[in-house]
């Protein structure tokens, strides 16, 4: 979470053992944070650069009609440098496509979907459970107005995208959209629709990322695994030895788009680039975070320590310029066709695993004892059990992964 800026020992030292004095306050978005003197220096340095960036953005918008903001090389470069908070709403709505689909929606607008959501009480019930525990350290989200606004955005989305409905993780994304888009519910709703997509409309994020079985998330994690092996082989080997796969580490990064991991403004800087360049940014940031903190991750002696070290370090990423610099200039080329190749391979693997699990579930359901009338029911034959088990083991061998309980629990948290 944003307020969990660092994990301190009893003596007040940080993860590197340095004694620091800290101050607590609420940031510009209402998050309660705790920062030390080094964090303050990083924040001030970034703010000075952002003032210069604001001049560049205003010049760009003066030269070109704001209504025709396009995905040009200039806009891409500006987004990488960050969008000024006061311009973020306007730029995001145009680059994401939210402005266009809102005006093309006709009578099927935001209020229509809020009303339609009443037909799905299950989604609304889960949303009602999750909203109160979304960012407990944020003043506005926890206010009565914030709670109502967040529920309404999620209600509307669940009705607009009936295939997905609602998935845990969306609540954090919707909350951050509201904070960045000046608490505008309708803007947050349409932008979320563009991020996640629809069965008839591609989204910015990989399809099925939020599916009921999280199949898209499994694909992204396994693709990221392959890229980390290529970009950071020493760390990949170390993590494999600790049986700490990307699913344990990065599932939350992708489902919550770093909003529960990084400080708010750092998260928004990543989203600036996400709306400009697409989901490749999530891979770049993931690898950049791992590279930036590789030394403390390599020092971890078990998976729990590695995860704690990564979370503590990421929560103090107030130097967003450094993180973005490494993401774009410090990890080498990351062509989209390479990511798509990995995705294609892993999608086939995930589809096979899901099909096998469904087959096993159906066969188990068919297993029954002889009923009271003595009629013999279907029974799973030993050969069928062996067939499924062998294929599952073969899939895991091909994937080079161990089916650990912790791996499963990580995915279960978001189902």
pLDDT confidence bin for 75, thresholds 50/70/90:
very high
Q: What pLDDT is stored for residue 117 in this prediction?
A: 96
Average pLDDT over residues 366-395: 51
Q: What pLDDT is stored for residue 39 in this prediction?
A: 95
pLDDT averaged over the chain? 87
| 256 Rama sector, left if φ>0, alpha if ψ -120 to 50, beta otherwise | alpha
Q: What pLDDT is stored for residue 10 in this prediction?
A: 39
Q: Which residue has the higher pLDDT, 399 or 248?
A: 248
Q: What pLDDT is stored for residue 63 in this prediction?
A: 85
Q: What pLDDT is stored for residue 166 in this prediction?
A: 96
Average pLDDT over residues 229-245: 97
* pLDDT greater than 80 at residue 368: no
Highest mean pLDDT (candidates 3-12, 69-78, 386-395): 69-78
**pLDDT, tens only, 191-220:** 999 999 876 778 999 999 999 999 999 999
* pLDDT greater than 60 at residue 400: no
């Amino acid at each position: 979470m944003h307020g969990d800026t660092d994990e301190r020992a009893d003596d007040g030292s940080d993860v590197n053992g340095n004694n620091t004095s800290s101050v607590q306050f609420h940031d510009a978005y209402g998050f309660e944070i705790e920062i030390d003197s080094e964090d303050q220096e990083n924040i001030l340095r970034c703010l000075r650069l952002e003032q210069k960036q604001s001049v560049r953005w205003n010049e760009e918008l003066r030269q070109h009609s704001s209504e025709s903001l396009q995905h040009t090389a200039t806009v891409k470069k500006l987004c990488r440098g960050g969008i000024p908070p006061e311009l973020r709403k306007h730029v995001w709505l145009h680059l994401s496509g939210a402005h266009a689909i809102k005006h093309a929606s006709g009578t099927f607008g935001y209020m229509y979907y809020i009303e339609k959501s009443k037909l799905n009480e299950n989604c609304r019930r889960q949303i009602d459970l999750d909203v109160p525990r979304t960012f407990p350290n944020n003043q506005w989200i926890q206010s009565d107005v914030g709670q109502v606004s967040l529920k309404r955005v999620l209600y509307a989305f669940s009705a607009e995208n009936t295939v997905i409905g609602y998935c845990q993780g969306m609540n954090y994304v919707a909350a951050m959209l509201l904070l960045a888009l000046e608490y505008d519910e309708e803007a947050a709703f349409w932008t979320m629709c563009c991020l996640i997509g629809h069965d008839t409309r591609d989204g910015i994020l990989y399809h099925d990322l939020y599916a009921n079985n999280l199949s898209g998330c499994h694909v992204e994690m396994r693709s990221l695994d392959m890229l980390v092996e290529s970009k950071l082989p020493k760390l990949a080997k170390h993590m494999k030895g600790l049986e700490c796969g990307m699913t344990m580490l990065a599932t939350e990064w992708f489902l919550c788009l770093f909003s529960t991991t990084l400080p708010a403004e750092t998260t928004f800087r990543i989203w600036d680039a996400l709306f400009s360049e697409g989901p490749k940014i999530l891979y770049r940031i993931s690898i950049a975070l791992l590279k930036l903190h590789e030394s403390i991750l390599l020092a971890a002696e078990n998976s729990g320590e590695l995860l704690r070290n990564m979370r503590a370090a990421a929560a103090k990423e107030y130097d967003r310029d450094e993180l973005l610099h490494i993401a774009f200039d410090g990890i080498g080329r990351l062509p989209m066709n390479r990511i798509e190749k990995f995705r294609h391979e892993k999608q086939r693997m995930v589809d096979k695993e899901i099909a096998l699990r469904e087959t096993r579930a159906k066969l188990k359901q068919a297993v029954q004892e002889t009923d009271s009338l003595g009629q013999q029911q279907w029974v799973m034959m030993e050969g069928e059990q062996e067939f499924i088990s062998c294929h599952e083991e073969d899939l895991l061998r091909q994937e080079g992964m161990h089916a650990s309980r912790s791996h499963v629990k990580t995915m279960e948290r978001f189902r």
